[in-house]
Structure 1
């Protein structure tokens, strides 16, 4: 068994349960006879390059346990792409300096690309290192895994607030007749689709759902809204931020700004659609942007999601000690069981990095404005259960790693 120190880092947009994965990895490292020091890198890969480490063994037991119910990235996150040769040289020097033999990276698509590059670097340089990716994203778009930790909690939150907004919209007489809810989801509609879980009856909100997997047609959209208004008197629509037209162009986005990975910055499609409805249908509308609330609402986290997030962190450390490397922990749903259950397996990082998993077209209705029962059956188990959160002075008693 390879012996040495480990470093754990977090990257990309946090989720409500990302720290459960950190907890799972840390507790598994505590039990390891192969792992000595347990470092946490501040702000992802940038923290390793800057040698900005936290000694996780010196954190109080209450702080470590508190990760179970604390949202946000406790170690700090980043969006940094390894490109420069000096970055790779610095990285390897830091690993050697601190005798780091285990690297665990908690993140999404781009983070898995970083983990893949680190593993490739170690192999090319002959440095004995075990690299395992630990998945997280509210977008649920990582391939080769049934779903991604973080998604279930974001889905539970979005479905809950949509249900509550529907009750509010229906119970009070106002001039506002249409509400557009803009959910996160750059190129995949998993999160917006989850709003359908809010329905208890056929007439319940959301009345319409639009996803990036189906080209958005303005005329069809306006007809759908008008018909729903005639039927229900008010309309609540959920849309993904990344809606595209038949040519694959975003309906609305900031074309002048991109992030470090070259992704165009999204946001604003909700207001755009409200303006369209008001001008074309003469119906007053408003838009709601849950924004980062979708990924930070631990008070509405799914217990199923939190437990699975913990286990992917634990499995990553356990499998690394079996000489597994260049892999990501994936969740496999066990089919045929009376109740939902899953197991964990490893998939190759090079088959995950920079790839996206979209909603199956068969899980979207023919009109492209709602989801099917097959999606509901897939998503419903992922939002089950609640996380017990301690409170202090009426507010959640979240913890900080210092």
Structure 2
């Protein structure tokens, strides 16, 4: 690409603590390269409806970018909009015509698996018809389940919040001289990366859950109750970190056994809401073991708790936004910016570009070797992998006693 270029950037899917850091990286790199940046309001769906914002005007200086980096959730707004198959030529002709009419040279889309599906389809169709528009994916998801990349921005900060919260909940649950079991429900539809992060809460007996249940291994209720009973014979307090996506051997989600389970699916075929796993298990434990039980759902706090964001996560999210701009200006298309880990000690990663078609619609599970033999905990290898991702604290700007945030878009 040569001359002044117009970059279109959007955010899609579930928000994270660091998705705006990637947006800040896009804007910062574009300014360095003399490019104009336009934002999609509510993702590709908003763009197709004619909703955009001039980010040069909306983010006029460094102070606004600093606040944007510290602001949780998707500042531009998000969507869950599934593009049709490539056989729908009329849709893609119209989409590219709209991009051409807006003078767009490159599209950067910050999102997870479903967002990479959007970039894969647009990039594939664009290449098929010889469009000069470049399409680049910038990853984010607290689920950490994108294939190809060592980890995904958003995961480290959510993992830090999960570990912090579990450590605090453990201390709270342990104050009384009685037998009790606390189930902490943690996000993770198809992969247990985030639930596994609860193991980072501290030493056993001082914050770390006694058991960690992941979707990768089917849950046997009888076996679980036997393990909890055994633990209660030796200690007062038992804590269980449990992924919302935990399933039985026949594939049934535990949350589907409860009246609290979400109903309906989104455009990508996912259950609209997973909820109730911890409540179901707490009720079973109370009935079978006769002890006090508690169910705690961390819910959306996991993806918006910017007051405990990982500085490592924020830095990597920012740099991948910058890398997306560089890739587009270098003429790359249908690519996703990713991270390759160079070393654990000292921790170091480098950005790489991957074929987004090979990433979209795939899920990266926690390796079975990183899960205990009985399926009820994670191993030291998992902890060694995850620990660097939660490290570092960002200096937070405060106003009137609470963290300052960038004002929402009108």
Shorter-chain TM-score tier: over 0.9
Superposed CA offset, 1:118-171 (max 9, x none): 112212332211111000000000000000000000000000010001111112
TM-score when normalising by structure 1: 0.95
Equivalent of residue 105 in structure 2, options 98, 101, 104: 101
Aligned position for 1:338: 345
Residue pair 2:146, 2:364 contacting (<8 A) in 1 also? yes
The Cα of 1:346 is off from its aligned counterpart by 0.3
What is the aligned partner in structure 2 of residue 52 from structure 1?
51
How far is the alpha carbon of 1:256 from its aligned partner?
4.6
In structure 1, the residue matched to 2:283 is 275
Alignment of 1:189-208 (within 5 A): 189-201=192-204, 204-208=207-211
Match of 1:309 in 2: 317
Please state if 1:219 is matched with 2:222.
yes
Partner residue of 1:369 out of 368, 372, 376: 376
Distance 1:287 1:401 in 2: 33
Is 2:303 the counterpart of 1:295?
yes
The offset of 1:64, in angstroms, is 2.5
Deviation at 1:198, TM superposition (A): 0.7
> Is the Cα–Cα contact under 8 Å of residues 63 and 400 in structure 1 kept in the other structure?
no
Q: Deviations over 1:69-126 (max 9, x none)?
A: 1111010011111128454343212101111110000000000001111112212332
For the 8 Å contact 1:49–1:90, the answer to whether it is kept is: no
SS at match of 2:146: coil
Deviation at 1:173, TM superposition (A): 4.4
Distance 2:262 2:168 in 1: 34
Match of 2:164 in 1: 160
Distance of 1:251 and 1:204 partners within structure 2: 25
Q: Secondary structure at the match of 2:295?
A: strand
Deviation digits for residues 294-325 of structure 1, max 9, x if unmatched?
A: 00000000000000000000001011111111
Q: Answer yes or no: is the 8 Å Cα contact 1:2–1:101 preserved in 2.
A: no
Report how far residue 42 of structure 1 moved. Answer: 0.5
Q: Does 1:396 align with 2:403?
A: yes
Aligned residues: 398
Q: In 1, distance between residues paired with 2:313 and 2:306? A: 11
C-alpha distance in 2 between matches for 1:288 and 1:89: 48
3-state secondary structure, aligned to 1:341: strand
Alignment partner, residue 80 of structure 2? 79
**For the residues of structure 2 that align with 1:398 and 1:19, how far apart are their CA atoms?**
11
Contact conserved, 1:106 with 1:136, CA < 8 A, in 2? yes
TM superposition shift of 1:232: 1.5
For 1:149 and 1:204, the matched residues in 2 are separated by: 25
Show the counterpart of 1:348.
355
Cα offset, 1:401, TM superposition: 4.9
The 2-side partners of 1:169 and 1:275 are apart by: 17
Counterparts in 2 of 1:230 and 1:108: CA distance versus 1, 3 Å? same
Q: Which residue of 1 aligns with 2:30?
A: 29
Partners of 2:138 and 2:320 within 8 A in 1 = yes
Following superposition, the deviation at residue 201 of structure 1 comes to: 4.1
Q: Which residue of 2 aligns with 1:322?
A: 330
5+ residue gaps, structure 2, are: none
Tell me, yes or no, if structure 1 residue 6 matches structure 2 residue 13. no
Select 1:180's aligned residue among 183, 195, 204.
Answer: 183
Report Cα offsets for 1:18-41 as digits up to 9, x if no partner: 1000000111111124x3x31000
Which of 391, 394, 404 is the equivalent residue of 1:384?
391
Shift of 1:16: 0.5
Give me the whole-angstrom Cα distance separating, in 1, the residues matched to 2:384 and 2:190: 22
The equivalent of 2:143 in structure 1 is 139
